[in-house]
Amino acid sequence: MPTLPADEIRQKVSAIYISAGATQREADIVADLLVESNLLGHDSHGVIRVPQYVRGLEEGNIKSGAETVIDRETAATAVINGNWGFGHVTASDAMQIAIQKAKEASIGVVTVHNCHHVARLGAFPAMAAEEGLVGLITNNGHGSDKALAPWGGMGRVLPANCLAAAFPSDNDWPVAVDLTVAVAAGGKMRVAANRGEKVLMGAVVDKAGRPSDDPEQYVSLGGALAPFGGPVGHKGSALAIAIDILSGALSPAGCTQENPPVTGNALFIQVINIEAFQPLDTFRAEVGKFVDYVKATPTAEGFDEVLIPGERSYRTKQERLVNGIPVEDATWDQVEALAARLL
């Protein structure tokens, strides 16, 4: 498994996308976000996705040079059309629109449709937190992208819908929540399959609905992801349905359906201007004090410390910036094959 500097990966990925037909801006945004996911330890949404987006360009599903357009808006809201450009670019543009609205109207809420896959959802609320705002985002599969068996059912019926949020604090990293309603994301199944590893028992179900620890049940054998919660998996399933409605029904994309015409992401984004409620320094200090309180909890057997959402990713990034990013052989072989063909 090679371990490579972030800049080397970023430059190669950007060059691949430019050669595949992306604009410089698109290539840089996508490469930055994919490598950032690897730096943070979210390898399921990093460079393992490079072939997916090259294929999207070559098959015409991703429209290079597409403009992000506001279909309708008020002072605090907007409905945004990505025109099937790179999802990373559409989501970045949409978050910036929501940020600007929050700065001017105290809150910014936007929905997004005609948006390709955006990869790691947590990248976008972090943009708001960096500017001293609270960011929140949810997604569905634009009516499609089915991966999850609902509680009590079998087969791929729902997407592995996601929710991410980021909150500024007086620590070096924001409190950052980024979760899927599945036990683990489909990308993690592909990473495990590439590494020849097993996954948590029950993270996937086979096509008959039986729990499994074999990622290939999801990747190639017709199985599905399972909602989180184990014996109370109805909670993960319920959250999947709520997120689907929030992301889809407020957007022209709609909720997940039996025969969807397209696949992609529909998004719900909310940005909150903290200064409308509390001085930013007061908010940061309160969050920092809360973090210290939680981290002071005595640890249970088998644990060295209590971690706050976003903390492990921050530490992983610091380590990988120094020592490089490990990339599984199968993934890097795919990237190198694309480079040999396109560059």
End-to-end alpha carbon distance in the chain = 23
Contacts 24+ apart (CB under 8 A), 200-208: 202/226, 202/230, 205/149, 205/154, 207/154, 207/155, 208/154
Residue 123 token pair: 């990248």
Backbone φ/ψ region at 37: left (φ over 0), alpha (ψ -120 to 50), beta: alpha
Q: Are 159 and 244 in contact (CB under 8 A)?
A: yes
In this prediction, what percent of the chain has a pLDDT beyond 70?
100
What would the CATH number be for the domain defined by 1-65+325-343? 1.10.1530.10
CATH superfamily of 184-226: Hypothetical oxidoreductase yiak; domain 3 (3.30.60.50)
Residues 66-182+232-296, CATH architecture: 2-Layer Sandwich (3.30)
Radius of gyration of the chain (CA): 20
How far apart, in whole angstroms, are the C-alpha atoms of residue 62 and residue 325? 27
- Name the average pLDDT for the chain: 96
Q: Which amino acid is at 66?
A: A
In this prediction, what percent of the chain has a pLDDT beyond 90?
94
Q: Give residue 269's pLDDT band: very low, low, confident or very high (50, 70, 90).
A: very high
User: Per-residue pLDDT tens for 140-177?
Assistant: 999 999 999 999 999 999 999 999 999 999 999 999 99
CATH 3.30.1370.60 domain residues, the chain? 66-182+232-296
Mean pLDDT over residues 206-235, rounded?
94
User: Per-residue pLDDT tens for 32-59?
Assistant: 999 999 999 999 899 999 999 999 999 9
SS3 of the chain:
CCEECHHHHHHHHHHHHHHHCCCHHHHHHHHHHHHHHHHCCCHHHCHHHHHHHHHHHHCCCCCCCCCCEEEEECCCEEEEECCCCCHHHHHHHHHHHHHHHHHHHCEEEEEEEEECCCCCCCHHHHHHHHCCCEEEEEEECCCCCCCECCCCCCCCCECCCEEEEEECCCCCCCEEEEEECECCCHHHHHHHHHHCCCCCCCCEECCCCCEECCCHHHHCCCCEECECCHHHCHHHHHHHHHHHHHHHCCCCCCCCCCCCCCCCEEEEEEEECHHHCCCHHHHHHHHHHHHHHHHCCCCCCCCCCCCCCCHHHHHHHHHHHHHCEECCHHHHHHHHHHHHHHC
Mean pLDDT over residues 236-242, rounded?
97
pLDDT of residue 185: 86
- Cβ neighbourhood burial of 232 (10 Å; 0-12, 13-18, 19+): exposed
Q: How far is CA 287 from the centre of its chain?
A: 24
Asked whether the predicted pLDDT for residue 206 surpasses 90, the reply is: yes
Of the candidates 198, 229, 222, the one whose C-alpha atom is nearest the C-alpha of residue 208 is: 222
CATH 3.30.60.50 domain residues, the chain? 184-226
pLDDT of residue 99: 98
User: Per-residue pLDDT tens for 278-296?
Assistant: 999 999 999 999 999 999 9
pLDDT of residue 190: 86
Mean pLDDT over residues 86-102, rounded?
98
Asked whether the predicted pLDDT for residue 188 surpasses 90, the reply is: no
Asked whether the predicted pLDDT for residue 195 surpasses 90, the reply is: no
Of the candidates 238, 242, 320, 252, the one whose C-alpha atom is nearest the C-alpha of residue 6 is: 320
pLDDT of residue 132: 98
Residue 151 token pair: 């509680």
Residue 164 token pair: 């991410």
CATH 1.10.1530.10 domain residues, the chain? 1-65+325-343
Q: Which amino acid is at 239?
A: L
pLDDT of residue 37: 97
